[in-house]
Structures are given as C-alpha cells and as structure tokens.
C-alpha cells in the first residue's frame, strides 16, 4: 500500500466552494477509472471551514503514479492553485489497517 494525507487551505469561502466543485468532478473520474485507488476520501475540517483533508490510499506506488498521470488529475493539479493559499503533504507507510489489505 502507498498512501498520503494532504491538507489544503482555501483562500476564502468562494474559493472553497469552487475547490469543492473541482474535487467532486475529479472524484467522479477517479471512482470510474482507477481500480488501483483503494481509498480517495475528502474531508472538511470541523471548525475550520477553509480546510480540506484528503486521505489517499493506493494499491502500490505504481497505482499512485498512474493516478497522477491521468488527464483529469493533471487538470485538477493545474486548477487547484487558483483556490488555495496552502498545501501540506505527508506520504504514509501503512503499518496496520482495518478494511484494506495491509500487505506491501
């Protein structure tokens, strides 16, 4: 498994709404086209209306690389900065899990 957590901070409420729309459109494509993407979850942060947390879990690094190469993901990456004031990324090494195969 290969995973990451990303914290996005939107510029303002208008930007947050546009970012959420971009996320929804991109998520539809991810669900339809990426069997190697095990979990792609997007969360709002309680009490922090401009924050979004992405939790992404891929079958392996190759599945992540394939995800990143898709046209709709590249479009997301190009457009997202219009709406964001900050991005923080943590790459993860799965130790234990429920609901996903923990084998590497």
* CB-based contact 80:52 (threshold 8 Å): no
Residue 104 clears pLDDT 50, i.e. is over it: no
Residues 87-93: what's their mean pLDDT?
96
pLDDT tens, position by position, 25-78: 999 999 999 999 999 999 999 999 999 999 999 999 999 999 999 999 999 999
**How much is the mean pLDDT over the chain?**
95
Rounded CA separation 101/29 (Å): 23
Percent of the chain at pLDDT above 90? 88
93: DSSP letter: -
For domain 2-90, give the CATH number. Answer: 3.30.70.100
- Residue 86 C-beta-side C-alpha neighbours within 13 Å: 7
Residue 12 clears pLDDT 60, i.e. is over it: yes
């Amino acid at each position: 498994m290969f995973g990451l957590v990303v914290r996005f901070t939107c510029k303002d409420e208008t930007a947050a709404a546009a970012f959420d729309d971009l996320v929804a459109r991109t998520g539809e494509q991810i669900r339809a086209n990426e069997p190697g993407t095990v979990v792609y979850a997007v969360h709002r942060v309680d009490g922090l209306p401009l924050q979004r947390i992405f939790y992404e879990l891929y079958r392996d690094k190759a599945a992540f690389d394939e995800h990143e190469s898709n046209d709709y993901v590249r479009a997301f990456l190009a457009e997202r900065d219009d709406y964001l004031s900050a991005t923080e990324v943590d790459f993860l090494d799965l130790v234990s899990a429920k609901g996903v195969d923990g084998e590497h």
